[in-house]
Amino acid sequence: MKRVTALIVVAAAFWATEGAAVAPAHTPTTPAAAKQAASAESPELAAFKKAIRTKYDMKEKAFANHDAETIVTRFYAPDVISVEGGPDGGIYVGRDQIRPLYQRVVKDSLVKVDSVYTYVNGNAGWDWTDFHVRFTDGKTKPFTFALLFLWARENGEWICKGDYFVTGSFRTGKLASEPAPAP
């Protein structure tokens, strides 16, 4: 429990350091309002979406090439915090802790990242995504993670500082006790 509390404190500090204007002035109370608040088009948001789409494309290609090292070193920051929700979830801090996870999962899975809600302000942004996973064996059932990526612009480049994922889908608005089927 202390690690989860520490993660929440770290995330709050990350957002707070980017300035009080990071959070929208009015908290959305419906999925439609959340999407509208997260997707207010601006040149800043368009540039952010383009930059992180490039990172997602790189991650998808690295999965296809079974290349964990590209994901670990070019997608994630050295001080990344990755959290898997659910009763069997884990907390991974730093590249050295996520490396074995990616070395294992890139062997037999392919992914597609689908941005659902995106927000940016200055040097911080986040993106709620559906992360679709399918397997090369043709036998294992594909599934989807609802995955929140936390981004920071460092030295002019967007880098993933953290993520949180659970089985389910932002598009359907459902968590899943079993992995949600990929489209």
DSSP 28-70: --SHHHHHHHHT---HHHHHHHHHHHHHHHHHHHHHHTT-HHH
Predicted pLDDT of residue 40: 60
Domain ranges of the chain: 2-19+41-175
Report the C-alpha gap between 111 and 61 in whole angstroms.
9
The CATH class of the 2-19+41-175 domain is alpha beta
Predicted pLDDT of residue 121: 93
Predicted pLDDT of residue 1: 40
pLDDT tens digit at each of 183 positions of the chain: 444 333 333 344 444 444 433 444 455 577 666 666 555 678 999 999 999 999 999 999 999 999 999 999 999 999 999 999 887 889 999 999 999 999 999 999 999 999 999 999 999 999 999 999 999 998 999 999 999 999 999 999 999 999 999 999 998 887 775 554 554
For 122, left (φ over 0), alpha (ψ -120 to 50), or beta? left
Residue of 142, 141, 163, 144 whose CA lies nearest to 152: 163
For 94, left (φ over 0), alpha (ψ -120 to 50), or beta? left
